[in-house]
């Protein structure tokens, strides 16, 4: 499991560690790691290290200090180093003298000429944890002139460390070396796509950090939670999934949602609704009925995709919420809950609920997401006493206690019509298997994305093929676990 802390928590831990370490030791450790990564990038990209030229972009604080020290270490390996100072009066004094002692060149940003364009590698030490807003114009102009790959120190300058928002010019790095802990920007869209490969360097903060603010599941975490049939199981004991989705207008949504559930786990899937014939034709193993009252017992309900918002749909959502089993409410079920607050009263107290809006559905339910997706989703989860999964290039999942998972892979294959329906079915299957709602939603996001990647294999595919790749995604997880 990858763990993520906000900048205030990281600073607090840094203060504790700084108080018991020799002055400057932490920075030199961080900077040495940057120099090692820089040398590796030079070798990989140009064939050698000695004789190559690195340009440091140096801002007003310790992030610039890291870059200056890294430059000093690179000088010792025979690399030509030029530091470009954006704030000469505030450049880290020890870092600056270390670089000068090692024979590095120092120029002011206004005198920089062609220096950035001549580099084999650029190290971005403009701003780190203290970053606010996009790059300022002088820094942005400098970054624009750099044609070589950029190695970001701690984070690509210009992005917001805690929200991952990019509201102005920002560095796009080939790689990032970060210290002590992952920060939210490393896993949140759009900042995450500015980072390149992220390398975490241990500087001894972990014992002081406490519980993480956000978590990211690894394949192993998903693999150990996925339900597989055990010797004593039969079709009922694994948790029966109920699908109350789609209808005569959108029968495809019924099929796609059912596909997600059928292909995620063994056991039984029931369908209730006016697309019963279409569902039965595609999945003969599904027990399909025309109405909820005929559906029989289930251990979790999936509702919403393709349901519409007419009065019949409202009744379906009401009945499902009252059924006393975990519910995943997607798409039109979210819209109905937003438009008819009385529907919340139908919910059997204490039964788990997972809401899976995309941004527009989220806005209808809880207001604009804004720049801080984690804060918005966490607040909605508390307000509705539900697990909320906000879809998108980074999927954010929160529970009412403030536990947060983020799923980010940098791939966008799931962005196709109907793929959210498949996701709902996967979540329903995991809920019915008894997996805790937060984990059911987070594991489902992972599995869905993995299935999309396998199905796509480099070319766009529709949602039905994403569903068909679910078994391959599960097999892949089990092999890697
Ligand atoms: N503490 C430790 O032990 C360790 C710390 N470490 C390192 O320290 C880093 C944090 O350093 P930090 O706190 O000195 O601030 P930092 O991020 O360098 O900002 C400097 C100044 O930039 C400015 N600025 C703000 N926004 C801007 C923008 N958009 N565009 C341009 N400029 C902008 C603003 O100054 P202003 O101009 O507003 O006065 C701000 O004060 C951390 O990320 C890690 O790399 C490591 O060595 C490990 C050990
Ligand atoms: N740019 C993107 N990158 C990665 N995943 C995306 C992107 N856009 C959407 N997705 C994912 O695709 C799915 C789309 O769901 P949704 O918007 O409900 O579509 P639909 O209603 O057509 O099924 C979600 O799982 C979402 O997280
Ligand atoms: K930086």
pLDDT digits (tens, 9 = 90+) for 61-103: 999 999 999 999 999 999 999 999 999 999 999 999 999 999 9
Task: From 215, 238, 261, give the residue that closes a domain.
Answer: 215
Q: Are residues 340 and 427 in the same domain?
A: yes
- DSSP assignment, residue 305? T
> What are the structure tokens assigned to 214, written together?
């956000």
Report pLDDT for 479: 76
Whole-number Å distance between alpha carbons of 182 and 186: 6
Give residue 348's pLDDT band: very low, low, confident or very high (50, 70, 90). confident
Is the Cβ–Cβ distance between 334 and 357 less than 8 Å? yes
66 is in an annotated binding site: yes
Q: How far is the CA of 94 from the centre of ligand 1 (A)?
A: 15
Q: Give the phi and the psi of residue 376 in degrees, each rounded to 5.
A: -65, -45
Q: Are residues 87 and 42 in the same domain?
A: yes
For residue 349, pLDDT beyond 90? no
Give residue 481's pLDDT band: very low, low, confident or very high (50, 70, 90). low
Q: Are residues 172 and 240 in the same domain?
A: no
**Which ligand 1 atom is nearest residue 168's CA?**
29
For a pocket test of ligand 1, which of 60, 109, 156 has the largest count of ligand atoms closer than 8 A to its C-beta?
60
Give residue 257's pLDDT band: very low, low, confident or very high (50, 70, 90). very high
Report pLDDT for 224: 95
Kindly report the number of other CB atoms within 10 A of residue 132's CB atom.
Answer: 8
Radius of gyration of the CA atoms of the chain, in A = 26
Over the chain, what HEC string results? CEEECCHHHHHHHHHHHHHCCCCCHHHHHHHHHHHHHHHHHHHHHHCCCCCCEEEEEECCCHHHHHHHHHHHHHHCCCCEEEEEECCHHHCCHHHHHHHHHCCCEEEEHHHCCCHHHHCCEEEEECCCCCCCCCCCHHHHHHHHHCCCCEEEECCCCCCCCCCCCCCCCCCCCCEEEEECCECHHHCCCCHHHHCCEEEEECCCCHHHHCCCCEEECCHHHHHHHCCCCCCCCCCCCCCCEEEECCCCCCHHHHHHHHHHHHHHCCCCEEEECCCHHHHHHHCCCCEEECCHHHCCCCCEEEECCCCCCCHHHHHHHHHHHCCCCCEEEEHHHHHHHHHCHHHHHHCCCCCCEEEECCHHHHHHHHCCCCCCHHHHHHHHHHHHCCEEEECCCEEEEECCCCCEEEEECCCCCCCCCCHHHHHHHHHHHHHHCCCCHHHHHHHHHHHHHHHHHHHHCCCCCCHHHHHHCHHHHHHHHHHHC
Whole-number Å distance between alpha carbons of 265 and 250: 25
pLDDT digits (tens, 9 = 90+) for 183-214: 999 999 999 999 999 999 999 999 999 999 99
Is the Cβ–Cβ distance between 299 and 241 less than 8 Å? yes
Q: Are residues 110 and 252 in the same domain?
A: no
Say which CATH number the domain at 128 has.
3.40.50.10260
Q: Are residues 293 and 325 in the same domain?
A: yes
Task: Kindly state if the Cβ of 63 falls inside 6 Å of ligand 1.
Answer: yes
Task: Kindly state if the Cβ of 412 falls inside 6 Å of ligand 2.
Answer: yes
pLDDT digits (tens, 9 = 90+) for 127-165: 999 999 999 999 999 999 999 999 999 999 999 999 999
For residue 245, pLDDT beyond 70? yes
Task: From 215, 235, 265, give the residue that closes a domain.
Answer: 215
Which residue blocks in 76-167 are alpha helix, DSSP H? 93-101, 115-118, 137-145
Show the domain range for 356: 219-480
Q: What is the mean pLDDT of residues 430-434?
A: 98
Say which CATH number the domain at 378 has.
3.40.1190.20
Q: Are residues 211 and 342 in the same domain?
A: no
For a pocket test of ligand 1, which of 131, 143, 158, 186 has the largest count of ligand atoms closer than 8 A to its C-beta?
131
Is the Cβ–Cβ distance between 189 and 371 less than 8 Å? no
Rounded to the nearest 10°, the torsion over CA 254, 460, 359, 242 is 20
Q: How far is the CA of 33 from the centre of ligand 1 (A)?
A: 18
Q: Are residues 206 and 244 in the same domain?
A: no
> What are the structure tokens assigned to 255, written together?
């099929």
Give residue 114's pLDDT band: very low, low, confident or very high (50, 70, 90). confident
Whole-number Å distance between alpha carbons of 330 and 277: 22
> What are the structure tokens assigned to 78, written together?
């025979």
Give residue 115's pLDDT band: very low, low, confident or very high (50, 70, 90). confident
Mode of pairing for the β-strands spanning 387-390 and 394-398? antiparallel
Q: Are residues 427 and 369 in the same domain?
A: yes
> What are the structure tokens assigned to 83, written together?
């530091």
220 is in an annotated binding site: no
Is the Cβ–Cβ distance between 269 and 283 less than 8 Å? yes
pLDDT digits (tens, 9 = 90+) for 270-312: 999 999 999 999 999 999 999 999 999 999 999 999 999 999 9
For residue 480, pLDDT beyond 70? no
59 is in an annotated binding site: no
Task: From 192, 215, 238, give the residue that closes a domain.
Answer: 215
Whole-number Å distance between alpha carbons of 371 and 373: 6
Q: Are residues 71 and 175 in the same domain?
A: yes
Q: Are residues 143 and 236 in the same domain?
A: no
Task: Kindly state if the Cβ of 400 falls inside 6 Å of ligand 1.
Answer: no
Enter the pTM of the model: 0.96
Q: Are residues 408 and 346 in the same domain?
A: yes
Q: Are residues 382 and 447 in the same domain?
A: yes
Q: Please tell me the total count of domains within the chain.
A: 2
For residue 441, pLDDT beyond 90? yes
Report pLDDT for 112: 86
* Mean of the per-residue pLDDT values of the chain: 96
Mode of pairing for the β-strands spanning 175-179 and 150-153? parallel
Q: What is the mean pLDDT of residues 242-256?
A: 96
Q: pLDDT exceeding 90 applies to what percent of the chain?
A: 96
- Residue with the smallest CA separation from ligand 2 atom 9 is 415
User: What's the ipTM?
Assistant: 0.95
pLDDT digits (tens, 9 = 90+) for 98-111: 999 999 999 999 88
């Amino acid at each position: 499991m990858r763990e993520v802390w906000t900048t205030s928590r990281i600073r607090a831990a840094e203060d504790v560690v700084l108080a018991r370490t020799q002055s400057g030791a932490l920075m030199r450790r961080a900077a040495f790691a940057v120099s090692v990564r820089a040398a590796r990038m030079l070798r990989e990209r140009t064939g050698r290290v000695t004789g190559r030229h690195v340009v440091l972009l140096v801002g007003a604080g310790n992030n610039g200090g890291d870059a200056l020290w890294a430059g000093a270490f690179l000088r010792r390996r025979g690399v030509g180093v030029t530091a470009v100072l954006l704030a000469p009066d505030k450049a880290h004094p020890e870092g600056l003298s270390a670089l000068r002692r090692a024979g590095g060149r120092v120029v002011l940003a206004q005198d920089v000429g062609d220096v950035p364009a001549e580099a084999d590698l650029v190290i971005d030490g403009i701003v780190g944890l203290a970053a606010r807003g996009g790059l300022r114009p002088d820094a942005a102009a400098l970054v624009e002139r750099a044609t070589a790959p950029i190695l970001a120190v701690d984070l690509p300058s210009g992005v917001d460390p805690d929200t991952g928002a990019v509201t102005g010019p920002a560095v796009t790095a080939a790689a990032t070396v970060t210290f002590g802990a992952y920060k939210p920007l490393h896993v949140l869209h759009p900042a995450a796509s500015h980072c390149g490969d992220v390398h975490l360097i241990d500087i001894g903060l972990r014992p002081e950090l406490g519980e993480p603010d956000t978590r990211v599941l690894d394949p192993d975490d998903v693999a150990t939670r996925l339900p597989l049939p055990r010797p004593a199981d039969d079709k009922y004991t694994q948790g029966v999934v109920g699908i109350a989705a789609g209808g005569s207008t959108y029968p495809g949504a019924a099929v796609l949602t059912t596909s997600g559930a059928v292909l995620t786990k063994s056991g039984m899937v029931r369908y209730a609704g006016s697309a019963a014939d279409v569902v039965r034709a595609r999945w003969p193993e599904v027990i399909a009925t025309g109405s909820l009252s005929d559906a029989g017992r289930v251990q979790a309900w999936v509702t919403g995709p393709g349901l519409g918002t007419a009065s019949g749909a409202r009744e379906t959502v009401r009945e499902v919420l009252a059924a006393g089993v975990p519910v995943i409410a997607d798409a039109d079920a979210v819209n109905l809950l937003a438009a008819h607050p009385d529907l919340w009263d139908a919910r059997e107290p204490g039964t788990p609920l997972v809401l899976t809006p995309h941004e527009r559905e989220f806005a209808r339910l809880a207001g604009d997401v804004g720049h801080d997706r984690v804060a918005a989703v966490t607040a909605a989860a508390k307000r509705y006493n539900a697990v909320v999964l906000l879809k998108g290039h980074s999927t954010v999942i929160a529970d009412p206690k403030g536990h947060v998972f983020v799923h980010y892979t940098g791939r966008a294959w799931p962005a196709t019509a109907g793929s959210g329906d498949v996701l709902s079915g996967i979540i329903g299957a995991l809920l019915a298997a008894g997996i805790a709602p937060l984990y059911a939603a987070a594991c489902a996001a992972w599995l869905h994305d993995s299935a999309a990647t396998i199905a796509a294999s480099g070319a766009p595919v529709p949602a039905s093929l994403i569903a068909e790749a679910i078994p391959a995604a599960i097999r892949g997880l089990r092999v890697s676990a």
